[in-house]
Structures are given as C-alpha cells and as structure tokens.
Structure 1
Amino acid sequence: MNKCNIDINERTNHYYELTWEEVKIPMRDGNYLAANLYQPKAEGKFPVIMTMCPYGKDLHFSEFGPANPNIAIEYSRSQDKGPLLSWETPNPEFWVPQGYAVIRVDERGIGKSPGKLDILSESLKRDYYDAIEWAGTQSWSNGKIGLLGISYLAMSQWAVASEQPPHLSCIIPWEGAVDYYAEFAYPGGIQANGFLEFWWKNAILPNQYNPNGEYSEEQLKDNRIDFPTVVKNNPLRDKTWTNRFADFNKVKVPVLSASNWFSAGIHTRGNFLGFQNAASEYKWLEVHIGSHVGEFYTAQGRALQKKFLDYWLKGLDTGIMKEPKVKLAIPSGGNSYKWRYENEYPLSRTQWTRFYLNASSKTLSKEAPKSKEMICYKGDKGQDSKYWPKPFMKKFSKNENSSKRVMFETTPFESSTEILGPIKLHLWAASTTDDMDIFVSLRNIDPLGNEVVNSGANSNEFPISQGWLRASLRKIDDNLSTDYKPYYTFDEEQKLIPSEVYPLEIEIWDSAIVIPKGNRLLLEIGSQSQSGCALFTQTGDDRIWDADVTIYTGDEFDSYLMLPIIP
C-alpha cells in the first residue's frame, strides 16, 4: 500500500490523507480486472468515483500517446497536476481529500488485466457492470457509485448506464460519443480511418496486456479483436454497432452531460443526444469551448462536477437541483465566451431561418432565387492514398479560384447575431459517378476577409462547425428527424444514377457563435476536408475520390442553409 499526502487549494469541509493499492475485481466469468483503488485513510464508508478504459491505469498523463505532441501541451496547461494524474481520468489527488474513493480500472486485455482485448464491445458493458457492483458492496463503500471521465471514458459511461447496474448512482460523461458508428467511426457515413488507425496504434496497442513483455506479436494478435478491421468490415450501422452502445431508453440515472461546441467530427454530437434522449428524470447539459481535456481539470470544471457528485453520491444540498438544466458557453471567437443558463436545448425561442444558396452570385440570402442555376466542383482524381487535410486557410473569398470546392457567403450582418443549436444544409446535387462524399464547413469572416476562428477541442483554429455525408447513405429516419436536424439510418446503401439530381439533408453539427455586425457567414462545400481539424481525417482506402459534383439552386431546387438564430 502506498501513501501520498496531498495539498489542495480548494476550500473543503474535510481533509483526508490518500492511500492506494492495486486490487483484483472479480468478473462473472471467473476472470478479474486489475484496478488502482485510491481512498481516504480514515474510518467510514465513502462514495466511489470509477473509470474503466484501455489507456493503462498506471500510465501518467504526461506519458500518454507519445506520438501526439499535444499531450505534453495539455499537461502543461492543466490546472490539475501530480504523480497520480492519468489521461482523461479524474485525479485522485483532488477527489480523495474531498472524501471520495477513486477506482481506476484496466479494461479486459489492457495493462494488468488479462483476457482478450475487445474495445467498445458488449463484453465491456458486462465487465463494467460487474466492477460497479463489486465496488458498491465493499466495506469501505457507501454503496453509491458515480462515473466521471473524458472521451472513451465517457462513451463507456453511456453504455454501462443502459445496463442499469443497481449501485450506479450517476454519470458525468465529458465530451464522449454515444453512437460509435455515426460519431466515431463513420461520421456522415464516411470512414474516419485516419484517426482510428492512429489512435489504435498509438493509444491502445502499447497498453495491451503483456505480462513481463513475454508475449510474441503473434500471441498479442491472437489475444485481441482488431478494432480497425471491425470498422472496415462493418460499413453499415447494423447490430455489430448498435449492440455496442447505449440504449437511451434504459439510461435512467442522473446525468451531467458535458459537450464542446468546437469538436465536430467526434466529441460534440453525442453529449447533446444523450441529454435530449436519455430517460433520466434528472439531467443537465453543460457546453464549453477550448481544449479537449482542459475544461475538465479547471477549477470551474471541477466545481461543477463536485456540485453534481456531492448531491447524488453524498446527499449534500449543493443547490444543483435549483439550477437551470442547461449551462452554455456563448462564444464570440477565439477563447472569448460568456456563460449563460437556459432551461432546454435546443432553445425554445430559436428562430429557424433559411438562407438560400444562389449558384449564380455565390451568395446566401433569405430570399430564394427564382431561376435555376448550377455550379460545379471537381473530385480528387489521383489523390494520394494517405490524404491529410490541407493547411488551414486564413483568407476566404467566394470568387477564389478553386476547382475542388465552392463557397457561398452572406452580405455583412447589419447587427450582432447569435447562432446557437443544430444546423442543416438542404442541398440539391448530382454526381458524375454512382456516389459522392460531401464535406461542408461554416465559417465566420471579418470585414477584411479573415476568418474568425475558435478555440476547439483539437485545434485553436476551428470554424463554426462542419458536416459530412456520403450520398449513398442519405436515407433518413423519418421518426427521429426534424425540420432542422436529419438523422440517417445508415443501414442501406442507395447508389446514385450519374448526373441525376438528388436532394440531400446534410447534418452540420451543433454549434454556437455570436457574429459581430459587419461580419459575414461563409459556407464551403467541397470534395475534401478543409476543416483545419486534424482529428477528423479521411484517408484514401474508403473515399469517393473521383466524383465531380454539380450543385443546383433556384426554382424547384431549394438548396438552403438552416440556421438556429437566437433573438
């Protein structure tokens, strides 16, 4: 057993010395999972904060993901440091002195947990259930378990919550997907294999269970399910995918769902869907900006987490039940924002406003063009098989000479305008082939033609938002879709007839921004990712490279951008 004395700046009612030990948590099939148990050195029973993930319970934050230089930057920015801090997990050096036990579990096949590695699987849900129930019945536990963590550690929270383990009391999924197909593996139906392969190679495989390094590479391969192969072999959202993630109808514990406005492509969408659709009677939504892990470890981030956990795990009256259910950062570009409380999401006072595309003038206007026009852009024939997005562009013009994208812009706004909520592009388009991949970015342009970028989860130069769609997967779920947000079934491929015009409903992920007077909105549509976001990367083995696309506007072709304008 190890001991660590902790100094904390936050004012607390109690101070506890921290002790920790490694424990083996029994599973229903006779195996076990290894975990680090951090707890107060004191008599009594304490609530438990638990995580389970594939990143290695003993790997320090600063050592995670050696191929990603941003890790060291994130650690240097974090207000929460210390020898026990691990990537995307709650820091026991903060939480144990507050009177919590913290359990960090290596999932099966990872770190010191033996077994077959199978990430984001049905077996993960069962193992997590068993770990929660074990923790809820220990002599040092008060029987109330809360889950808290970022990204993967949020994704697994939604999943196990729908299994309804009796001792699970609440969850705080922070920037984590819920639909592994549509948000993680195939956004818009286009495989995000650039990121997936990088993540699998650099964040998962180095942590595979390998006692004393004695397993050969062949033994390691035999003892895991290769997730990139699962992705490639399952291009439609069938039971291979739906069995893995949460059934929202069964998520009934209290939820604090935390999203990031500027993380389109992986970390924005799920937390909105979870808040809107979970069956929980008590649920809150927080939406911030900035780095993927930064807000989680700030004093204000931890204060919100503690207010939630103290109420549901300790029974303290923290005032959270009196607060509005929605807390939103209202951004104005860069790192600038103001907090605002709301009662629902999307906001009931939203003015859903159509801005029509005009192919002739390359404009966006509230007035629909009367005559039919068209504009074309080229595919990426001969593109290298390992394509990465081009460098971020600082200046934009609708008249820019680019054969692989087209741009539409508004006139300068006559007054400061707030856009907040889901965004949709209704587009009439034709392809020269039987399919097409469409990439969309929405940008804020100042009077000098410079883009006003935003501090996002994985880039400090993030646009307002982005959207993607593979046209053959355009089929809409009419029961779930609304006038402002399409939901795709992703269960059936419907190939195109070359040169035939099709209406496409393209989801642009939820976002928020205040557009100053004099600025313009620019809508960019093209054949490749111009996002400036390195996380969402499309490579060549699953791309429709050779489709030339024609966009139709005017007359019966009512192509428009649907914006959520807040009066």
Structure 2
Amino acid sequence: MAITACSASSPDSTAVSASGPRPTETAPLSAATNAWWSYTRPATFDSTRTSVKVPAGDGTQLDCSLVRPAKNGAPAAGRFPGLVIEFTPYAVIRSTFESEAAYFATRGYNGLVCNVRGTGPSGGTWQHAMSAQDSRDARDLIEWLAIQPFSDGRIGMFGESYGGQTTYGAAIEQAPHLLAIAPLQPPASLYDDVIYPGGIKTTEGGTIDNWPGTAQLLSQGRIDAAAEYAANREHPTFDSYWQERSFAGRYSAIKVPVLTVGGWEDQYFRSGTLANIEGALNRTWAIYGPWQHLSPIAFPNCPGLCNPEGLAPGLLLAWFDRWVKNLPDVPIPTRPTFVSYEGPAGIGDGWREVSNYNPKNGARTQTLSLSQDGTLSADRGTSGSATFHQPADPASPAGSATFQTAPLTQATSMLGHPALTLRASLSGPDANLYAELLDIAPDGTSALVNNGFLRASHRTSHTTPTPAPVGTLITFDLQIRADHYRFAAGHRIAIRLSGGAADTLTPNPAPVDVTVATGTGGSVLHLPTIPDSSPTPAASTNALN
C-alpha cells in the first residue's frame, strides 16, 4: 500500500518553499500526538504459539514461532492481519520477542518471530552482520505469512536494533503484502555507525564495537565473534561488503508508511536511526527519545530488553491498527510528524513537536571560532595554532586540545547536526580526528553531548583514502553527530579534539602531531541552534519542511 498523505515529491527529497526553507522550530505536543500516544485497546483473545519452518526464496528453512489469536486454547477461527516481529539472530531471547507477539495476538494479529539464517535453529549459513540476504529473507517471511489460510493478507513488520534493520530491509525489498513498518533504533550503515565511523576503526571489544561477543552468545554459538571481528578488519574501506549493509541511496524504494523510533543516547545507532529518518522524511513519522540502546517500547513481560521508561505499546498498536488492521478513527496524525526529546532532563524542555525539520538548512547556524588561548567565540581573533599529539590519552596535557565559550548569559538550544570546519596540518600522513561536543557546568564537570569522527586519509572518500600531505594546512569537514540539546545559562559550550581514547578508537599506529589553525582563517564550530521554545502546542500539520 503506497502512502498518499504525504508530498508527491521523492521520499528522498525535502520540499522547499519558494521563499526558502522555514527555520526549524519546536512546540509542546499537539492534540493529535497526545491522542496517538494515549491510544489503547483491550485484549479480546488469548494467544497460542507453535513452531514452524518457513522456506526462504532459495529453500533455506528459517526457524520461527507463530503466535496466533486463540479462544479456549485453540487458534481462533477466521482470518487476521499479521506482523513479522523481531527478525534477528537472537535465538536465546526469542521467548521475549514471543511475548511482544502475544501482545498483538491478543488484539487480533498473527505474529511471526524468526531467527535469521545461520543462527539459532534456522538453516543456512550466517552471512555476517546485517547482510542484504537478511532483507530478502524478511521479504519472504512477509509473503509466507500473507498467504496462510488464517491470514487476511495484510502484513506489517517491526523490530528493534537488528530487528529494525531487517524491517527497513523488507520495505526496501518492496514485499508486496507489506503495508507499514516500525523500525526501532535501527542502524543505517554498519560501517559508519559502529565499525569505521568517519573511517576510523573502532576498538574491538571496546565501548562501541562490542556486538560480536554478545551475538555469539545470543545466536546459540552460531555466530563466531572472532570471525566477525576478522571480517570487519578485512574491509577497512567502504567497499561492496559495507555498501550492501547500508541503506544510503535506497530510501526511495520505500513505498509504505514508516514509524521510526530512535534514542539520542543510543550508544550504537543514534546517528544511523536519524539518517534513516532523514532519508525518507516525507513518509516517516519520527520519534526520538532520551534512551540508550534498549527497546523504546515498554512491552509487558520484557525484563532487561525493554526500557521501563519507554513509550506504551499502545503507540505501536495504534500504528498497525491504522495502516494494517485498517480500523476507523485510529488517532494517527494524517501527515508525518517528528517528536523529539530535548535534553538533558531537568534542563531541556523534554518532549517537543518539531516543525520544518530540514537536516540540510532548516536550523539557524551559530558559528564559533576556535582561538589559540582555548576560547570559543564569535570573534575570529588573531591567527594562531594549538597542537595535540597521538597516540596519547586524551586526558593527558598533550593528548587533546579543548576550546570553550565563556559562561552562557542565556540558555542555547540546538537541534540537528553540528559541524566542525577543522583547519589543521599533520606531521605524518594520517591521524584520527575525533571531536567531542561538551557541556561544561559551572563546577567544571563536563558531559558529552555528541561526537564526530574522521580519519584524515578519508577526508574526501571512504572508498579511496589518500594520505594527507605532511605539513600542509588542510580543511577537514568533521561532522558531529546530531542531537536535541539545551545548554543552560551559566554553562559553557566546548569542543575537545584528540585521537580518541584507546578503549573506543584504534590508536594511530605511528606518532603524529595535529596542529590546529585558530583565529582568523582557522577552525570554526557550526551549531544548529533553534529559537526559544514556543509555549503553544504544535498544530496537527506536517512536521517537515
């Protein structure tokens, strides 16, 4: 089913008015959004579960749990819509995913929970994380469920993290019976999200790249952690291996309504989830909350996997009741909306409805210059420089360079993508360029707002890196990951530059000095600021520019 409530322009594009893009603004939640988030519907069935083998297109048998509406211990008579739920490698926790399916089965949906090929009891060979084969298999699961005698042929799909990736993949593969999807905290590009952000190899088993060990456990040992790390090392550039694991350039294939939920504090996919939203703005209802990498839906019977402070499952129920079950009067806003949590808690305004969001030019940009004396201000000042060394601990005096504003006279809110135009020279042919956007409190403690990564040799291409000319001043475009954040009055905005901590990023193999140009003609930080919050609830209109 193609979405008709949105702009007729390409889903990969953003409409711009004749007078130019309107600035991004936020307001309290609209009545339409409050009605959606308050939606509930009581259970009218019991549920029953059976194990089934579903053949993929090439005959590979995928192991699944089929959860159906039931009465008196037996499957209920009649035909029901269906949901493919949490198509992941995680066989060990499949019972938790079955409880999500039971929530929907008791409200009149068939639920299919399966393990990807080569994991758990499923047949076939593991293709390494988030392969294109997962997407093709997800399409096949949808089509199998649609043609069963207990199905009415109307199918949706949702999942969190890996399950969000397979959900997007099914939509990109254009499964014919798919009517709507809800990917929760999904990746967009495994290369840039986790393994090689900005071209820098993350530390294996460190703070970012730690999935293989968990996957080995949860797949019942069928994923080999050492082999997974080795496969990542074999592909240091954005080659065909990674390109098939990326959704970039493929969003126009999505023809169904999308509900995407992300977390600003998600340690893995906070940038990837937003990239997915931005890739299909005109057909995505987006929610970004104050969550780390747990399911943002607080399903019952979901210990350890669902955020207890997440959104009620009625949010997802409303989504599928509207698009898949096709019930009347379900309070889903008629056009895409973007709801975001402005943090930090107690300082930011919390939940806000965003209007005119445009990742390219919807925000007002505040430009701050890096100065030799370590300040950050609108005054470009005298030309100078600051140097940091790597490999070195960023906390050591020579291991980083920090620039900070004076205490803010009034609160400053940002929403979108900060960027650092870094003018620097290197004493060697390559270096890690790692930037941390910090919020420094009056007592001197700092909080990480978000970070940015760039390998110097990847400054123009992740497919064909080129060494940096030694001793030459180079302009590096260092993108800092997006956030929705308020810096309180009295706090300082800071940027810290380093090669990254060893437990996060693989250190540069050879010693190198990075000399940062400051002042006039030097480096500048661009912040996507938004105006003071409006006290008026958002109108029920398109949130996109």
- TM-score bucket of the superposed structures, by smaller chain: 0.7 to 0.9
Aligned 1:367-378 pairs, distance under 5 A: 367-369=379-381, 371-378=382-389
Aligned 1:118-517 pairs, distance under 5 A: 118-119=127-128, 120-195=130-205, 198-204=210-216, 207-208=219-220, 226-246=227-247, 247-263=250-266, 266-278=268-280, 282-293=283-294, 295-297=296-298, 300-316=311-327, 317-322=329-334, 325-333=337-345, 338-346=350-358, 350-359=363-372, 361-369=373-381, 371-380=382-391, 402-451=397-446, 453=447, 463-475=448-460, 489-517=461-489
Cα deviation code 1:231-258 (max 9, x no counterpart): 2111111222222333112122111111
* Residue number in structure 2 paired with 1:561: 525
Given the alignment, which residue of 512, 517, 524 partners 1:552? Answer: 517
TM (normalized to structure 2)? 0.80
Q: Tell me: CA distance 1:305–1:336, structure 2 relative to 1, closer, same or farther (3 Å).
A: farther
Verify the 8 A CA contact 2:265 2:292 in the aligned structure 1: no
- Mapped to 2, the partners of 1:49 and 1:281 lie a distance apart of 24
TM (normalized to structure 1)? 0.77
Counterpart code for 2:483: S
Cα deviation code 1:481-536 (max 9, x no counterpart): xxxxxxxx411111012221111010100001111111111111112239xxx8xx
* Residue number in structure 2 paired with 1:527: 499
- Mapped to 2, the partners of 1:156 and 1:16 lie a distance apart of 28
Counterpart code for 2:320: L
**1:164 CA drift (Å):** 0.5
Q: Give the SS at the match of 1:464.
A: strand
- Mapped to 2, the partners of 1:416 and 1:114 lie a distance apart of 56
- Mapped to 1, the partners of 2:385 and 2:282 lie a distance apart of 49
Gaps of 5+ in 1: 1-8, 62-83, 211-219, 384-388, 391-400, 454-462, 476-488
**1:193 CA drift (Å):** 4.3
Range that drifts further, 514-523 or 90-99: 90-99
Q: Tell me: CA distance 1:115–1:324, structure 2 relative to 1, closer, same or farther (3 Å).
A: closer
RMSD: 2.7
- Mapped to 1, the partners of 2:433 and 2:490 lie a distance apart of 29
Verify the 8 A CA contact 1:158 1:245 in the aligned structure 2: no
Counterpart code for 1:493: P
Counterpart code for 2:434: F
Task: With a CA cutoff of 8 Å and minimum separation of 6, indicate the structure with the bigger relative contact order.
Answer: 2
Q: Percent same amino acid at aligned positions?
A: 25
Verify the 8 A CA contact 1:439 1:529 in the aligned structure 2: no
Aligned 1:4-43 pairs, distance under 5 A: 12-41=41-70, 42-43=76-77
- Mapped to 2, the partners of 1:136 and 1:204 lie a distance apart of 32
Q: Give the SS at the match of 2:236.
A: coil
- Mapped to 2, the partners of 1:209 and 1:415 lie a distance apart of 54
Verify the 8 A CA contact 1:325 1:344 in the aligned structure 2: no
Q: Tell me: CA distance 1:422–1:563, structure 2 relative to 1, closer, same or farther (3 Å).
A: same
Q: Give the SS at the match of 1:509.
A: coil
Q: How many residues align?
A: 472
Gaps of 5+ in 2: 1-37, 71-75, 299-308, 532-545
- Mapped to 2, the partners of 1:335 and 1:290 lie a distance apart of 16
**1:185 CA drift (Å):** 1.8
Q: Tell me: CA distance 1:26–1:225, structure 2 relative to 1, closer, same or farther (3 Å).
A: farther
* Residue number in structure 2 paired with 1:99: 108
**1:335 CA drift (Å):** 9.3
Verify the 8 A CA contact 2:419 2:477 in the aligned structure 1: yes
Verify the 8 A CA contact 1:324 1:342 in the aligned structure 2: no
Q: Tell me: CA distance 1:198–1:509, structure 2 relative to 1, closer, same or farther (3 Å).
A: closer
Q: Give the SS at the match of 2:169.
A: helix
Verify the 8 A CA contact 1:437 1:544 in the aligned structure 2: no
- Mapped to 1, the partners of 2:356 and 2:484 lie a distance apart of 15
Q: Tell me: CA distance 1:299–1:272, structure 2 relative to 1, closer, same or farther (3 Å).
A: closer
Q: Tell me: CA distance 1:123–1:469, structure 2 relative to 1, closer, same or farther (3 Å).
A: same
* Residue number in structure 2 paired with 1:538: 505
Cα deviation code 1:324-375 (max 9, x no counterpart): 611111113479752111234237762111111102x211111212x22011
Cα deviation code 1:97-133 (max 9, x no counterpart): 2222221111111111121111322222222221111
